[in-house]
Amino acid sequence: MTTLTCGGCGAPGRRYRNGLCQPCVLTADLRAVLDDGAGGIRPELLPFFDALRTMTKPIAGISWIRRPHVDAMLRTLADPATALTHQTLDSMTPWRSVTYLRDLLMLHGVLPAADRHLLLFQRWLRAVLDEITDPGQRQLVARFAAWHVLNRLRRFAARGPLSQTQTNQARDQARDQARDQVRSAIAFLTWLETRDKNLADCRQADIDAWYADGYTRRRNTHPFLRWAMNDKALPTVTIPHQPTANPAPLSQQRRLQLLHHFLTDDQIPLLTRVAAVIVLLYAQPVTRILRLTIDDVIRDGPAVSLQLGDPPSPVPEPFASLLLAYLDQRLNLTTATNSGSRWLFPGRRGGQPMTSDAITRRFRDQGINSISGRTSALRYLVLQAPAPVISRMLGYTDQQTSRTTADAGTPWSRYAPDDHHRWDA
């Protein structure tokens, strides 16, 4: 019996192409696309090269490199005459592939760290402004975006990575809030044109007519109108306000039914089960779940706890066993994108956790609303312990838990002193 060996590394096993195994084919392909013109690889790209050629699933890297637009981008970056900067990537297309490549380059130190959501918004904004044909309207929208929307996003970015909630909101938990504000500004200006008016001619009757057609979906016009009044581009008007309530919290009975469902039904993907239980048991918003790392799962002998605040929150059985099992089955760890990732829920982009849209899609498939679920959980928890205790353990502010305590209608003082130790749901 003849044993096949790789003609490159000599490793035994199935050969993939030209007598080479998959890792050797990937290495050869990378050397080809990253050739600096002198038979070598730019020193700056060596960390990127080493990470890709050692990925756990080399066939994924081979398939990615073979895409014509990826091949073209990598060959451009390999040229020593090309500046390895974010600005260089901004000129490339398609944007999704550019975003993926940018994340990888930042993850492996080729490019300096930058907030990816801010970069994506800036790229999107340039394209949107180019589509506005009226020069005056384009200038107004550009000024609003620069002085209000972008300024706000930069403040967020200065505090740390922009979360999906800070740049995204409903619909389907994926619509970018910053983009919605710009789109709403453009829609309002276009609507004014149908009334043969510009912003300076706008009056209260126009504002009332604009919102009369649908207050909720036009609520994102608020920031633009306030900015325009402050900028003296719009006469003083009154912006209508209507209260918009969050979804009603789940009943305690329904919350317990859902907890039992996710803890016991092994037909549901393990990732979905773990994320849902964290929402329903610990009242965590999706955005905070996505920032958890495997280091936040603390094991002390048989005891397991979750670092949501200070002190860590105890993890009861059977969720403790479920959570520990999930740690060994995390997704998106087989390519160079997130190899060695510490995120509890690694995403598909380099160094990034999953998106809130990816998690909430899983929740919708199971028929739960994360806002209703966590509101119900928080109401239950503040009835079991004083609001300051809950806020510290779960990472909430005292004001948030105090408001929830008031909404629940039953102050802590009516409960027995030992009642707050009941964490089993």
* pLDDT attached to residue 26: 94
Least confident span in 51-65, 94-108, 109-123, 244-258: 244-258
3-state secondary structure of 214: coil
Give residue 172's pLDDT band: very low, low, confident or very high (50, 70, 90): very low
* pLDDT attached to residue 371: 82
DSSP 228-260: HHHTTSS---PPP----PPPPPPPHHHHHHHHH
Give residue 399's pLDDT band: very low, low, confident or very high (50, 70, 90): low
Q: Does the pLDDT value for residue 233 go beyond 80? A: yes
Residue 166: how many CB atoms within 10 A of its CB?
18
* pLDDT attached to residue 7: 80
Q: What angle, rounded to 10 degrees, do the helices at 135-144 and 177-194 form? A: 150
Q: Which residue shows structure tokens 């928890």?
A: 381
CA atoms within a 13 Å half-sphere pointing along the CA-CB vector of 73:
24
Query: Would you say 290 and 357 are in contact if contact means Cβ atoms under 8 Å apart?
Result: no
Mean pLDDT of 150-164: 64
* pLDDT attached to residue 2: 56
- Per the document, the length of the chain is 425
Q: What does R_g of the chain's alpha carbons equal in angstroms?
A: 26
Q: Does the pLDDT value for residue 58 go beyond 80? A: yes
Task: Find, among 148, 150, 137, the residue nearest to 188 by Cα.
Answer: 137
**pLDDT higher for 405 or 119?**
119
- Of these ranges, 205-214, 366-375, 408-417, the one predicted with the greatest mean pLDDT is 205-214
Give residue 417's pLDDT band: very low, low, confident or very high (50, 70, 90): very low
Residue 94: how many CB atoms within 10 A of its CB?
9
* pLDDT attached to residue 420: 40
Q: Does the pLDDT value for residue 167 go beyond 90? A: no
* Measured distance CA(298)–CA(307) in Å, rounded: 7
Mean pLDDT of 294-311: 92
* pLDDT attached to residue 158: 64
* pLDDT attached to residue 166: 41
Q: Does the pLDDT value for residue 415 go beyond 60? A: no
* Measured distance CA(192)–CA(184) in Å, rounded: 12
Name the average pLDDT for the chain: 83
Residue 209: how many CB atoms within 10 A of its CB?
12
Q: Which residue(s) pair with 216 in the sheet?
A: none
335-381: per-residue pLDDT in tens? Answer: 766 777 889 998 887 778 888 878 888 998 888 888 888 888 888 88
Per DSSP, 116 falls in state H
Q: Does the pLDDT value for residue 288 go beyond 80? A: yes
**Percent of the chain having pLDDT more than 70?**
85
**pLDDT higher for 95 or 167?**
95
User: Which residues contact residue 15 at a Cβ distance below 8 angstroms, ignoring those fewer than 6 apart?
Assistant: 4, 5, 6, 7, 21
* pLDDT attached to residue 369: 83
**pLDDT higher for 228 or 15?**
228
Q: Residue 385 carries which side chain, given as an amino acid letter? A: A
128-141: per-residue pLDDT in tens? Answer: 999 999 999 999 99
Q: Give the torsion through C-alpha atoms of 295, 296, 299, 303, to 10 deg.
A: -170
Mean pLDDT of 141-159: 81
Q: Does the pLDDT value for residue 44 go beyond 90? A: yes
Number of H helices, E strands in the chain: 21, 5
Give residue 203's pLDDT band: very low, low, confident or very high (50, 70, 90): very high
pTM score: 0.57
